[in-house]
Structure 1
């Protein structure tokens, strides 16, 4: 940044100013694709259940599937429902896995409604890289709570989403509500 840019902006990059910029350098890992799994051994959906619920950001565990916080959420309370088995295609799920993914998705919606009162949800699975799957090798169902007016110029212009709740805090609140 040259002297003109510093003078015009009134501050250095990353330093608060009148524009109240939201700096999210941690998202560069996601944007640049760092840390994407290359096989089963480093798949976050395979390794997460091997950790404690807190460390793995797990909200609930079932017999065939589990519910985990999205590390790069679109909104507060963005959950993922994943089979334990490393499988990429929805048609390859067993009957029991399909049933439990559906049941956990329904319960996730109930819990999030009880905790944060969203006005609606986006539910979905992106099958394959071309369809937008960030981790295409391991199937996961998105449960994204939505509120009226929750999307503004930030995602469009700034390619940034403001998420006002830390993942650990959201995980704790949702896990406590899940258990009733």
Structure 2
């Protein structure tokens, strides 16, 4: 914003009115902001891999993943009623999802066996991630419903997100960019090998 000198000259005691400039006039004009372009994130933002009908388990990525190879689907561990898979759009390196095989949306609808195995896989995932990646802590949680932030709300999944000191520095907060220093396929292999 710039000041209008005429208003100040006419009445020296009056605060000058700011001039609001349209940001569109400055598109492409160099400034002091550094930008890290991440066009690959548009697939996630645009919902490229989201099912058109979230209630159709044939379209659900968490239902179709176990039908593929572990390497192709990024599955780290298969249990009897639940499994662990790497998140395609990780918040941090090593971000795992623990999913029941059954297409179920709400935590209260899980069977006793599903609750127990989701919990046990989550505990084992934490141990494996600690052994392989040495994080300082974890975020664990389920987003229940689209309004709560669930990207695929129709199929419950527990997030296991490793955290390191400084991983929420200026880059993701100000730059809205996340650096993931290891390939998903390499992370899957290391975690699967450590799972035992």
TM-score above 0.5, yes or no = yes
> Counterparts of 2:100 and 2:114 in 1: how far apart (Å)?
6
Counterpart in the other structure of 1:42 = 59
Normalising by structure 2, we get a TM-score of 0.81
1:62-101 mapped onto 2 (5 Å cutoff): 62-101=79-118
1:5-154 mapped onto 2 (5 Å cutoff): 5=28, 8=30, 19=34, 21-37=35-51, 38=53, 39-154=56-171
> Counterparts of 2:36 and 2:76 in 1: how far apart (Å)?
28
Counterpart in the other structure of 1:14 = none
Give the helix-richer structure, 1 or 2: 1
Displacement of 1:26:
1.3
Displacement of 1:32:
1.9
Displacement of 1:130:
0.5
Displacement of 1:157:
2.4
Structure with the bigger RCO (C-alpha within 8 Å, sep 6+) is 1
Displacement of 1:131:
0.4
CA contact (8 A) 2:36 2:175 kept: no
> Counterparts of 2:127 and 2:70 in 1: how far apart (Å)?
20
Displacement of 1:152:
1.2
1:135-174 mapped onto 2 (5 Å cutoff): 135-174=152-191
| Secondary structure of 1:41 counterpart | coil
Q: CA RMSD of the aligned region, Å?
A: 2.0
- 1:125-177, CA deviations, whole angstroms, 9 ceiling, x for partnerless residues? 00000000010000000000001111112222232211111111110111111
> Counterparts of 1:102 and 1:127 in 2: how far apart (Å)?
16
Unmatched segments (≥5 aa) in structure 1: 10-18
